[in-house]
Amino acid sequence: MHLEENHIICESLEIRKMSCWMPYYYSTGYARLARQPKPKTIKCTFNGQPLEYDDFDPYERILYFSIEKAFYFDRVREEAGDDNLLVKVEYVESPPLEIKTEDVDTVEGIKKVLDDDLAGLYKLIKERMWLAKYGNNGEFMALHEFILFGGRIKLTSNGRVHYIMIDNKNTAEGRVLTLSGCGDVMTWADFSGKLERIGAHWSETGQAIPSEKDRCPICGDSFTLKDIRYGTIECDSCMNALLHGYSHNDCWAAYKEIPRIRRKKR
């Protein structure tokens, strides 16, 4: 039941470090809320002291804290000899998110979203994940599947993102990233039919995309929708801790070249 405006929910939630394939939250502290809050009403304390969270994901109801704060939480627990020290979260409950399916589950709706650069695409993916997990009536919802940017990425029925790799033996390149004659958005049925007609095969890998808040750890620049459209980013889980996640292809290639140059100089 929705609470009145002046009703405060109190929750005590542990903060732990987490690892995630989303590079922005690779190593951080987090607290998952049991209910949907009004973002501006959230107040946190740790060990009785005011605490500011660094980000809030309304679709997963998660508060994020920097890695520095996560280490601080652990250090305080260790010094106090108490593993049960908790973060206290207070907030006003809000109604569940209401997302229009025509905005995120139709070709026309997705085309409009892509006009908002990377922030729009990132928001679209989060909203599709929400619908697939909760639906607008609290029930599981199977979404339609779409292909973006001529075959570069696929929006799946469970709200996730897959990268597509196409093998086309009829071309000189053999392995291609996109198919010519495809628009920015098309249904998976139409795209897969096109692949079958030309005798191409494909593979899919689960992946995520960076948000507009993420930056290349090598050059420091933000990622853009062009990076997704033209495949100019690299995602490598084998990168060291400093570079875990995404970087620009050129930046990552230059970074990997450094050890070879050093060895050559010796």
Whether 57 and 81 map to the same domain: the answer is yes
Of the residues 29, 57, 91, which one is the last residue of a structural domain? 91
Averages of pLDDT over runs of 10 residues in the chain (266 residues) are 53 61 52 84 86 86 81 80 78 86 93 86 91 78 90 90 76 60 88 83 78 84 88 61 66 78 62
Domain of 34, in residue numbers: 9-91
For residue 75, what pLDDT is reported?
A: 82
CA-CA distances (angstroms) from residue 82 to 77, 78, 79, 85, 86?
5, 7, 8, 6, 10
For residue 16, what pLDDT is reported?
A: 62
| Residue 241 DSSP one-character state | G
Whether 122 and 80 map to the same domain: the answer is no
Whether 76 and 108 map to the same domain: the answer is no
Whether 120 and 199 map to the same domain: the answer is yes
For residue 235, what pLDDT is reported?
A: 67
Asked if residue 172 is part of any domain, the answer here is yes
For residue 1, what pLDDT is reported?
A: 37
For residue 5, what pLDDT is reported?
A: 47
Whether 114 and 200 map to the same domain: the answer is yes
For residue 62, what pLDDT is reported?
A: 84
Whether 163 and 259 map to the same domain: the answer is no
Tell me the pTM: 0.76
Whether 109 and 199 map to the same domain: the answer is yes
Asked if residue 96 is part of any domain, the answer here is no
Rounded (10°) CA dihedral 143, 149, 152, 153 = -20
Asked if residue 152 is part of any domain, the answer here is yes
For residue 196, what pLDDT is reported?
A: 83
Query: How many domains are there within the chain?
Result: 3
Alpha helices in 50-140 (DSSP H): 67-80, 101-104, 107-113, 117-133
- The count of C-alpha atoms lying within 13 angstroms of the C-alpha of 62, restricted to the half-sphere facing its C-beta, is 13
